[in-house]
Amino acid sequence: MVSMKPLLVDARHRHSSSSTEIKSNSAAVEDLVTSLPGQPTVNFRHYAGYVTVNEKNGRALFYWFYEATTLADEKPLVLWLNGGPGCSSVGYGATQEIGPFLVDNNGRDLKFNSFSWNTEANLLFLESPIGVGFSYSNTSGDYDNLGDDFTANDSYAFLHNWFLKFPSYRNRVFYIAGESYAGKYVPELAEIIHDKNTDPSLFIDLRGILLGNPETHDAEDWRGMVDYAWSHAVVSDETYKTIVKSCDFYSDDTLNNSECYAGWDELLTQYDEIDIYSLYTSVCIANSPDSGDRSAVVKARRSSKMMLRVMGGYDPCLDDYAKVYYNEADVQKALHVSDGISLRKWSICNMSIFNNWWDRKKSVLPIYKKLIAGGHRIWVYSGDTDGRVPVLSTRYSLSTLGLPIKRAWRPWYHEKQVGGWVQEYYGLTFATFRGAGHAVPIFKPSESLAFFASFLAGESPPSQRWN
């Protein structure tokens, strides 16, 4: 039996929103979550449900929105996206990383996240594109068109329709954040907002973007992955030399020669033995047939230009816990995705979407340049034990921008310890997280929350050990 705990959603229990705001958001009352199984008691409201992005085709995207823990009517709105492509922002970002509720290791209950980012902002998680998590289309042909542009345009439509449900957030200061393949999603959505903001009726007050271990520039991402594997003793000198000699990462078909393919195959074979997303933590060893099957996921795409991101953590079985939880009937009913009888099948990543992704930008650096010119804040961070989108990939990509340095490379501190290193350019800030894997907030929850607060404030991370 799933434990049921009371949720304080009544206005008299909540001190961070005015009665005016409650009335102005009345269109969203039907999406208010009031009986989420296993949820700890909280003093903020949260909402979940669908927003239609295309009436004709019946396309609807699932969202989960958490108001800030305090002063929700004064704090910014932040949209968080995970990547894949094909992976769930609810399953990863909300459930494992930065949301207020983390799925417990029994797959049935939730535990409170003391380092949730909704202590600093109102947090909006979106399952995008259709086919991810609970999001869907009633037109089967839509699934044949999935790609970067399709996703960005649907996400843009989602935002405007979401603001109809939550009009008090329509003119709120707005940021977009995400990780991994959302390194493409986030700037692509930001570019649409930037371009369409010339129309006052469409204006969204976008101030900046925050990107963690992001895919950025395909050629440099690949090169960084190979160099990182060699420099961290994952592959031999011979394998490294074979890849460097035979692989053209700027080619449209990098693996189209036997030597390059063999070298890359050997690199992935070695990564099959560990968690590519977290070099120094254990893989999931459990009784579930899905647990620890990292090798099957990676090998499935050896002939592709892309490889699936399935994020690891301190507990690499976290994906399994989420899968159990979101396929519970009472959970789906509480989140307004089913009637609790006819259930929607939920998975943390949709391999079909990944395999059939046909439209992708090789580089989003031109978008960076446009956003920088437009005065938008861009912060990029890297967990330095991630082998999939390693710190070297990001450094190689950003170096091609040729931005002048504003403040030189230096350590940044959290609670008197080195959190990582940071360098500020004119137009962009880059930081590392020492000892963190691909999904940084899993590994460094306190540090990442402090870093997020610095980002929102537009202030450099602390550069002194003693404050």
**Which residues are designated catalytic?**
180, 386, 438
Here the tokens at position 425 are 């350019």
Strands (DSSP E) along 117-272, which ranges?
Answer: 122-127, 136-137, 174-179, 206-212
Residue 112, strand partner residues: 101
Nearest to 119 by CA among 441, 459, 462, 466: 441
For residue 282 the two structure tokens come to 């254990």
CA of 318: how far to CAs of 6, 109, 118, 371, in Å? 25, 13, 21, 35
3-state secondary structure 138-163: CCHHHHHHCEHHHHHHHHHHHHHHHH
- Could you please report the per-residue DSSP string of 210-244? EEES---BHHHHHHHHHHHHHHTTSS-HHHHHHHH
* Residue 210 dihedral angles phi and psi, to the nearest 5°: -130, 125
Per DSSP, the chain holds a count of helices (H) and strands (E) of 14, 13
Which residues face 410 on adjacent strands? Answer: 422
| Residue 136 β-bridge partners | 60
d(CA 142, CA 456): 36
DSSP 355: H
The Cα 237–Cα 60 span in angstroms is 49
User: How far is the C-alpha of 243 from the C-alpha of 258, rounded, in Å?
Assistant: 11
Q: Give buried/exposed letters for 105-143 (b at 16+ CB in 10 A, else e).
A: eebbbbeebebbbbbbbbbbbbbbbbbbbbbbbeeeebb
CA-based nearest residue to 232, from 283, 177, 185, 271: 271
63 burial class (0-12, 13-18, 19+ CB within 10 angstroms)? Answer: buried
364/229 Cα distance (integer angstroms): 24
251 Cβ contact partners less than 8 Å away, ≥ 6 residues apart: none
Count CB atoms within 10 A of the CB of residue 304. Answer: 13
The residue with tokens 């009436």 is 55
